[in-house]
Amino acid sequence: MRVTQPAVLVGNYDWSEAQLPKAEYEARIKSVLEKLAGSGVAGLVVYGNKVDNAALAYLTNFTPKIESGIALVAKDGKVRIHGAGSPQMMVNAKRLTWVEDVRPLRDLAKNIGEWAEEAAPGPLGVWATEAMPTDLMPRLQAGLGERKLVDLNATLDPLLREKSPSAQRLVRGACVMLGAASTSLRAAFRAGATAREAAVAAEKSASEKGAQDVRALVSLSKGGTPTAIDYPQSGKLDPLLAYIAVRHAGYWAEGSLTLASAPGATLARTEEALKAMLTKVKAGATTAEIKQAAQEKLQGLEIHPAAAMPVNGIGLSLVEREADPQGVTRLEEGRIYTLRAGVRKPESDNALLSAMIEAKAGQAEILWSSLA
């Protein structure tokens, strides 16, 4: 789901050898270079910003805590990073990555142009262009003169979707933190907290467990769709719908919850729908059959718009980009997914539930679920 975007990322995004060793990043660089072999590109520009930084984090762990950053990957595997801020601010920027060459980003086009002068002739690949501001690409191209930029999202995005054992371990860690946050949210709700208080309790809990980032959305009105907490006060809402996203060492976990002191039929049927989806998930299962399983339990009810996409990949992004523009079509072994079921009704009797799973042959492992 979409979440609020803070002005600056405050949590701990420092690279840690213990969490994800340099050797793993070197293997990732190697995978990228193998994919680039034969493409004719002389080097790769990887873009990221504080909102969308999956590709940058994948290769370098560098996550811009303010504004934007780029990694410049030469054909020999040498990496340079430019991060937002003055030269004096690079002290902490360097802690964000295993890459030793970290420089200030002053003029992105100029920085890339200077680096390109040292690279071999030929076009440059660009990765994660979708996150770029629209006016940036023409400026980059203008700064490079005759040297062309080639969009490599389709070639390289599959690497983001693969989950190594280390990546799976980190997602599991994020799910543990999500579990703590959702437990706190439930406890706060039962104790009569306001929607805002419950959200803050969830965020505190995940932070105390070591999450580097946590964003909670909650209903604005009884049974309302979870949204940003942009007002200082909020009421005690029952039912309360909530969404929590937790990030751990770059990897996200997310969950949707519906809390009600007197659970109604809609919630019960949504639970049945999510359970039915979980019986279908395994490597090779199609999104169509998972969706069908949910729809059989929700006949006659309107699907909640926040559950319109019943399956999405999750990892370094909350919603991973798929090869098919419609989204996930078939579950792949070893990948991590969110399953989502939800119902919207004219009155406040709405429900949103979700689970995170790892797709395995013949079954799926449930990493977190909002089912009680």
Query: Which residues lie near another protein (CB under 8 A)?
Result: 1-12, 14, 16, 49-52, 65-68, 85-89, 91-93, 95-96, 129-135, 137, 200, 203-204, 207, 217, 220-221, 224-225, 227-233, 304-306, 308
Q: Are 370 and 339 in contact (CB under 8 A)?
A: no
Q: Give 338's strand partners.
A: 312, 356
Strand order in the sheet with 149-151: 102-105, 79-84, 68-74, 43-49, 124-127, 149-151
Q: Are 28 and 159 in contact (CB under 8 A)?
A: yes
Minimum distance of another protein from residue 27's CB (angstroms): 24
Of 143 and 224, which has the nearer Cβ to another protein?
224
Of 135 and 146, which has the nearer Cβ to another protein?
135
Q: Is 239 exposed, middle or buried (0-12, 13-18, 19+ CB in 10 A)?
A: buried
Of 86 and 299, which has the nearer Cβ to another protein?
86
Minimum distance of another protein from residue 255's CB (angstroms): 16
Minimum distance of another protein from residue 38's CB (angstroms): 26
Element (H, E) at 346: none
Q: Are 25 and 98 in contact (CB under 8 A)?
A: yes
Of 204 and 282, which has the nearer Cβ to another protein?
204
Minimum distance of another protein from residue 37's CB (angstroms): 26
Minimum distance of another protein from residue 206's CB (angstroms): 10
In sign, the C-alpha dihedral spanning 297, 302, 307, 311 is: positive
Angle between the 165-190 and 195-208 helix axes, to the nearest 10 degrees? 140
Minimum distance of another protein from residue 224's CB (angstroms): 5
Of 7 and 372, which has the nearer Cβ to another protein?
7
Of 14 and 333, which has the nearer Cβ to another protein?
14
Q: Two tokens at 271?
A: 């639970």
Q: Are 259 and 305 in contact (CB under 8 A)?
A: no
Minimum distance of another protein from residue 50's CB (angstroms): 7
Residue written as tokens 């004219």?
346
Of 43 and 223, which has the nearer Cβ to another protein?
223
